[in-house]
Chain A
Amino acid sequence: MQRDQMNIVIVGHVDHGKSTVIGRLLADTGSLPEGKLEQVKATCAKNAKPFEYAFLLDALKDEQAQGITIDAARCFFKTSKRDYIILDAPGHIEFLKNMVTGAARAETALLVIDASEGIQENSRRHGHMVSLLGIRQVVVLVNKMDIVKYSEKVFREIEEEYRDFLAELNVSPVNFIPVSAREGDNIVHLSKKMPWYQGYSIKQQLDQLKKQEDLPDQALRFPVQDVYKFTEGADERRIIAGTIETGSINTGDEVVFLPSRKESTIKTIEEFNVPAKKTAYAKEAIGFTLTTQIYIRSGELMVKKTEKIPNVSTRFKANIFWMGKSPMIKNKRYKIKLAAARTTVKLVDILNCLDASDLSSVANKQVIEKHDVCECILETTRPVAFDLADELENTSRFAIVDNYEISGGGIVLNNLSTEESMFEKNIREREFSWEKSAISLKERADSYKHRSKFVLLTGPPDTGKQKIARALERRLFENNYKVYYLGKVTMEHGLDSDISSYPDSNDEYIRRLGELARIMTDAGQIFITTISDADDFDIRKLKLLNEPNEILVVNTGSNIFNNFKVDLDLDEHIDVQKAVLSIEKLLKEKEIILEYYL
């Protein structure tokens, strides 16, 4: 029979005795390896320093040197009821990111407060972080009761003050326990020194806690981690792989992928070394095949067609905690990781920041500094699918990467898709301040004997679109049209030479291409270029950027667009001359080039 297991994190202000509590729990439940206690005691005796239970955890020399926990170390401890993994989170403010790491893995938090020092800054900050990270079970330990002579009055005062504080964060603690870790009071057994306390010891309390189970009636959320097509051994399966966040799914269920909005039906559930099955549940790391061949990228969110659909948007309100070396600033590009999605995000506005030491709000902040928790508006360059924190918290959570480092985390509070996006605003402002030429588009068209157009060839890589684009340029040129073909490589080594430093270089590439098209079409040119694997969103962006001028989209090879209707669909590796003629015919139909000008 396998045993039940629970992850607990111990948090609290520096020096309030977290490591001592853990050392005691390990020692008094008989969970230490044989001889470990004796070994540590012997080391202490050798170095002429008094033994402390906290030393049991000091496995690293670094840590012993500084005398403070710098990282979330784990230790294992068992009771007759279940196994526990204790994560010792550092209390020092500088190590907030380590505290977050420990706390995020836990389903229960033990928050330690020193009875003699009372509630300190990090007692509050950690309480706040525990609530933000989504830990629902909080047990508060008022430690060092021996120092305050086991006074009930001291205990009750701390309890009252801290309970009020947690209430503001919507956290209702499971219990407050008066303990002395050094003396072993109320750790495993109830202490006789505090007859006024009739509740549980720490061990008894932990054994009373319930495991957090996933709710089966939640909506399905399946972030697509990857799409596999392994050809070895003639494996024909195209498998959508990932871990089910919430809900359940059956073979035959109709599904929608977001943000692309592509639809299909579950054909099979795929696993290795497990009998075939028809239903999969939350937390399973699993795979699916679909009944239809659709082009899905990693990062999409698969949901059921019949259930509540998540939000899809580029703009939202979020609560962010920041751990980065440099502050989070407005308009800088960061990478956001939300479930399996990754894209670029910008901080648009800071609504208010919370001073963790007393939960008062600080208005008018211009940057989010290290250790701040702020409510703010974020905007992504591509739409992302997400839920709101008070509806389905798992898929409302994200991390922010600044210069290779995970620097912040947050939860989405509100969808702001109805507001004008920064992207749209920028285009509006660009058009407003555009220095209009004295020569109108109409005059250019009359002089050049054709209208300007952005001609874009799309499709998967290696479908022959470059050859077609170049031949089209030659053909139009020879017919005296003003035409220019731009190759991607030309951009890469010139205008785009800095682009690899962008969190999502493809988005920036699209933006620059769109701006360039706007200029070229303003110059009255027929501007031709190619782009591989563009999706609906890329085209929408290019169209917006090129406005008020027009775009013509020709697809070569398999068409991966979902809703967008291309102007012309060509077969892969179609004869180049044939392709050129059909594009030319289309330009005539659309009256870009006119027969009577010839």
Chain B
Amino acid sequence: MDHLQKLEAHSVFLLREAYREFNNLCMLWSIGKDSTVLLWLARKAFFDHVPIPLVHIDTHYKIPEMIEYRDRLALKWKLNMIYGQNSEALKNKRTFPDGNVDRITCCRNLKSEALKHTLSGEWSRYKLNHETQKYEVDSNKDPYTGVIVGVRADEEGSRSKERYFSPRDKENEWGVGDQPPEFWNQYKTDFAPGTHVRIHPLLDWTELNIWEYIEREKIPTVSLYFDQGNGQRYRSLGCYPCTTPVVSDAKNEADIIKELRTGRFSNIAERSGREQDKEDGGGLETLRREGYM
């Protein structure tokens, strides 16, 4: 087995373990390359089926192509697609683009809070109806007790300390100092009522591995990742007011792989185009503790 095959096999094991152990399981799909690889791995784990609902937090500031891509794949792969949002903050314009709050608060409002309440079932979930191809309010309001997330350890400091199965307490908080042991492929799959567990099948993958895998498996990705002729591309996708493209002429997966291995990005962090990281002291830690992915 080569390195990618080993990564794949371990991620598949983790997905199956999560599916076996959690009744109310969901998977977060940010539409970005990492969580799309995660979605692909679910198809691997469950033999071309995806028996887990996919939850997308729609900040309303996502680049439009991302939403179009989300719905296209959801219909094609017959996904149980759900989105949630912070309608209140959007309505009251408590956002950074509206000029009323700083970037960190905006992230907290549109991502962390929206996520927290969508997972708990307190706020409306919108579910894709495959017949009408429209989203409808989901009648299922049960809290998700297992949440699969596509974070990678190499992204930034706090993520390097994550477990594959990482418990969150009732307040959604992450007890970094007191995490469960993991060894011999045994993970924390028992949890007290009111707590939930985040599952991180991509923890050992690097940005380079992600692109190598996308190329090998021919996984469809958003075209924003590639240079469309103006010498720019997105390396990481987020909300358009806070994400800037990088200078690059990588036009396809192979170009990106070359660029990551030996080119201009071999020593520059992926999230360098994300402004909120800088405001959070470079660690993202404040946001992560509060439930940011």
Measured CB to CB, the residues of A under 8 A from B are 2-5, 32-34, 39, 59-62, 70-76, 85, 97-98, 100-101, 103-105, 133, 225-226, 228, 230, 232-233, 235, 237, 239, 241-243, 270-273, 281, 283-285, 287, 298, 323, 335, 337, 394, 397-399, 401, 404-406, 409
Contact = CB atoms under 8 A, between A and B. Distances in A.
A98 B163 CA distance: 10
B45 A285 contact: yes
Contact of B269 (A33, A59, A228, A398): A33
Contacts of A284: 1, 5, 9
Contacts of B186: 337, 398-399, 406, 409
Contact of B181 (A100, A270, A298, A335): A100
Contact of A285 (B16, B43, B187): B16
A241 to B, nearest CB: 6
A235 B181 CA distance: 38
Interface residues of B, number: 57
B210 to A, nearest CB: 13
B43 A59 contact: no
A59 B46 contact: no
A104 B6 contact: no
Given A60-B158, A104-B182, A133-B183, A271 B17 contact: no
A386 to B, nearest CB: 13
B267 A33 contact: yes
A59 B160 contact: yes
A61 B283 contact: yes
A427 to B, nearest CB: 30
Contacts of A233: 49, 78
A405 to B, nearest CB: 6
Contacts of B161: 59-60, 71-73
A149 B2 CA distance: 45
Contacts of A59: 156-158, 160-161, 283
Interface in B186-206: 186-188, 190-192, 204, 206
Given A59-B161, A404-B191, A101 B176 contact: no
B214 to A, nearest CB: 13
B184 A101 contact: no
B107 interface: no
Contacts of B158: 59-60
Contacts of A4: 3
B145 to A, nearest CB: 12
B4 to A, nearest CB: 6
A237 B47 contact: yes
- Smallest CB-CB A-B distances: 7 pairs: A59-B157, A104-B183, A97-B181, A399-B186, A285-B12, A285-B9, A230-B49
Given A225-B17, A226-B19, A60 B285 contact: yes
Contact of B192 (A101, A232, A404): A404
B180 A406 contact: yes
A121 B48 CA distance: 51
A394 B184 CA distance: 8
A381 B179 CA distance: 29
Contacts, number: 152
Nearest to A213: B1
A323 B3 contact: no
A270 B48 CA distance: 10
B153 interface: yes
Contacts of B51: 230
B253 interface: no
25 contacts: A2-B2, A2-B4, A3-B3, A4-B3, A5-B3, A34-B268, A39-B282, A59-B156, A60-B176, A75-B160, A101-B181, A104-B183, A228-B46, A228-B47, A230-B47, A241-B16, A241-B45, A270-B47, A272-B43, A281-B1, A285-B12, A285-B13, A399-B184, A404-B191, A409-B183
A335 B190 CA distance: 10
Interface string B149-189: 00001101110110100000000000011011111111110
B255 interface: no
Given A101-B183, A104-B184, A399-B183, A226 B20 contact: yes
Given A61-B285, A285-B9, A225 B20 contact: yes
Contacts of B206: 76
A342 B191 CA distance: 15
B44 A273 contact: yes
Contacts of A399: 183-184, 186
B3 A62 contact: no
Contacts of A272: 43-44, 47-48
Contacts of B183: 100-101, 103-105, 133, 399, 409
Contacts of B267: 32-34
Interface string B259-293: 00000000111000000000000110100000000
Contact of B177 (A33, A62, A73): A62
B268 A273 contact: no
Contacts of B187: 406
